[in-house]
């Protein structure tokens, strides 16, 4: 299949009437799959009401069919088409964070969406993205759109149109290229079907921000349990992985240096993931500054681009610093742990 790539300035007025947006929306209505940018990463969209469209998403990505998809909508009013009810705490979160990088899980109406989109679950994950191009194509097609990240399953998520093309050229009908995304890591996923909301995936909205709106929430145990069926995208399987094996290092600078030296003596090409503050401190083959440690939001923004850069540099092994497991650091560590297959070298 020929993959069309439309470069669109997200600052253009009345994007919903833009010819490229209309063409992408028409393909979605024809149950084809189209990639588009959100404020987090690029999504691969398909009609959430149609089994064949959803199957095309899984096929293009090589994604396991028991991994549920997030439904993207343009307006809160669309929820009534496929959601049983909107709990009070969900309403508070919607008012506070929609449009934005927060996905909320609701009880699903029977038969309202493709069962394949929710992987057979009785619940459905929904968000309104905070990106003008995403909102324009959602408005233009008028459909609930299932959209996981627009990458080959398991690889680092795409934060640029080039990343989507690299992974999915010839496998999707089109790519709406709106330039680099902003947040860099996927949305936070929170289950509001229980009395105390449960964070199933940390992301662009922090636990602290959520608790400021609805009070106490908890983290789901399945974030570390790899044996349970996933209730949210990103809870199961290795994700975000670069080509070379990635190891998180928990230890002193001296210990880190010894690991690098040992692997280089074995003839391996070694990569190190660090931040701007320490980029000159490591004697490795490839040292990448992934944002600033003092501004963890910049680490989140640069994370997937850094992991893809290691692929381009053809390293044999990657050692990564670890980050504080709080605030947006929780999302960064969640992605790094999955990219490393939970491999941590402890001093």
Q: What residues contact residue 233 under an 8 Å CB cut-off, 6+ apart?
A: 67, 68, 69, 70, 125, 148, 186, 189, 201
Q: Is 228 annotated as a binding residue?
A: no
Of the candidates 319, 298, 151, 133, the one whose C-alpha atom is nearest the C-alpha of residue 233 is 151
d(CA 81, CA 106): 12
CB hemisphere CA count around 28 (13 angstroms): 31
Cβ atoms of 329 and 296 closer than 8 Å: yes
Sign, CA dihedral 127-333-285-343, equals: negative
Q: Is 40 annotated as a binding residue?
A: yes
Q: Is 127 annotated as a binding residue?
A: yes
Place of tokens 């994604």: 63
Q: Is 269 annotated as a binding residue?
A: no
Q: What residues contact residue 186 under an 8 Å CB cut-off, 6+ apart?
A: 40, 41, 101, 149, 157, 201, 203, 204, 233, 234
The H-or-E segment that residue 198 falls in is strand 198-201
Q: Is 147 annotated as a binding residue?
A: yes
Q: Is 131 annotated as a binding residue?
A: no
Q: Is 149 annotated as a binding residue?
A: yes
Q: Is 72 annotated as a binding residue?
A: yes
Binding positions for ATP: 63, 67, 123, 149, 157, 201, 240
Binding positions for L-threonine: 40, 72, 127, 147, 187
Binding positions: 40, 63, 67, 72, 123, 127, 147, 149, 157, 187, 201, 240
């Amino acid at each position: 299949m020929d993959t069309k790539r439309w470069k669109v300035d997200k600052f253009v007025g009345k994007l919903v009437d833009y010819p490229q947006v209309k063409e992408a929306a028409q393909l979605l209505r024809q149950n084809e799959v189209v990639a588009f940018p959100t404020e987090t990463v690029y999504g691969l969209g398909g009609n959430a009401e149609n089994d064949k469209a959803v199957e095309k998403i899984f096929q293009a990505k090589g994604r396991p069919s028991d991994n549920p998809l997030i439904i993207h909508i343009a307006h809160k009013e669309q929820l009534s088409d496929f959601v049983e009810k909107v709990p009070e705490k969900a309403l508070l979160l919607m008012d506070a964070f929609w449009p934005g990088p927060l996905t909320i899980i609701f009880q699903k109406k029977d038969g309202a969406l493709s069962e394949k989109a929710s992987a057979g679950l009785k619940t459905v994950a929904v968000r309104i993205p905070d990106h003008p191009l995403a909102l324009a194509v959602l408005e233009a097609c008028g459909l609930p759109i299932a959209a996981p990240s627009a990458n080959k399953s398991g690889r680092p998520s795409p934060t640029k149109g080039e990343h989507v093309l690299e992974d999915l050229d010839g496998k999707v009908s089109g790519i709406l290229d709106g330039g680099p995304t902003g947040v860099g890591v996927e949305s936070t996923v929170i289950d509001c079907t229980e009395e105390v909301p449960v964070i199933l995936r940390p992301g662009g909205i922090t636990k602290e921000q959520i608790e400021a709106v609805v009070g106490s929430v908890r983290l789901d145990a399945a974030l570390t349990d790899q044996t349970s069926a996933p209730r949210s995208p990103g809870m199961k399987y290795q994700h975000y992985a670069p080509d070379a094996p990635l190891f998180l290092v928990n230890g002193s600078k001296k210990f880190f240096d010894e690991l690098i030296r040992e692997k280089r003596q074995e003839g391996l090409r070694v990569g190190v993931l660090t931040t701007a503050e320490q980029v000159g401190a490591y004697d490795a083959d490839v040292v990448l500054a992934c944002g600033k440690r003092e501004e963890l939001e910049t680490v989140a923004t640069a994370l997937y681009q850094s992991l893809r850069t290691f692929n381009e540099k053809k390293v044999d092994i990657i050692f990564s610093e670890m980050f504080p497991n709080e605030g947006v650091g929780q999302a960064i560590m969640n992605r790094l742990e999955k990219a490393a297959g939970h491999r941590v070298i402890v001093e």
